[in-house]
Amino acid sequence: MRPAVLLQYLLPHRALSRVVYWATRWTWRPWKDFLISRVVSAYRVDMEQAVVTDPRAYPTFNAFFTRALKPGARPLPDDPQALACPADGKISQLGRITGDRIFQAKGFDFSVAELLADAPDAKTYTDGTFITVYLSPRDYHRVHMPLAGTLRETVHIPGRLFSVAPFSVNAVPRLFARNERLVCHFDGDEGPFVVVLVGAMLVSSVETVWSGLEIPPYASSVTRKDWRERAIRLERGAEMGRFNMGSTVIFALPAGRATWDDRFAAETLVHVGSRIGGPVR
């Protein structure tokens, strides 16, 4: 096992994340400008797409990290039935859910029941389809709806905060089913679907447009919230949440609902709103 992976088993995940949470919100100009400039330079961040193009204009590093994009920067597919990518980043994996198993990386998979922390809900996705998108530090960190839906329930699941970078995904068994995460269940026009916002080492902070900051606080037990009485409907392409620092999104559909376009595979770069698939014909 690589030292960088072994170290993750030993580090105090939540304590480190709390420190970084506050450090990324510190308004002291020399500090926040230093962090922002380092990321812009190291990851070649395209600031011309942002509403605020001057990196020094952001009040904190986190404000820069969760920056909004200019209108039209991420157009939706012309086909109203097409599935839109929920996040900027790189595809970690995509394909069919084999029974109740989701492929993570060579030699590793995990069950839908583990991911959702609910065996009855997991049965909905038996032999369904999934896509996992990894967001790197250079990416736009807001998550958008892959198709229209009404929020039914969210489930905050406690867990570890392993890195979700490729070297960890290839080495840590069941990583996405072990990390702290927020499961968002939606009812779409053609049936249910789920979007899972997976936390990661160093912050693991998740916000939603309907509830604000969801993580932290970090959970000690599975926490469910029923949103049906609020009738929260979000259209395809609408912002649904954001990561304060990098992480991963998993989007899943039941069997017979959708197919992924042939041009996509693991390691393919993707952008919010771009077509990733369509309904089964």
**Catalytic (active-site) positions:** 88, 144, 247
Round to the nearest angstrom and report the end-to-end CA distance of the chain. Answer: 44
3-state secondary structure of 100: coil
Are 86 and 249 in contact, with CB atoms under 8 Å apart? yes
Dig out the tokens for 101 from the structure: 């198993």
What span, in angstroms and rounded, lies between the C-alpha atoms of 196 and 176?
9
Are 219 and 35 in contact, with CB atoms under 8 Å apart? no
Dihedral through CA 167, CA 171, CA 177, CA 182, nearest 10? -20
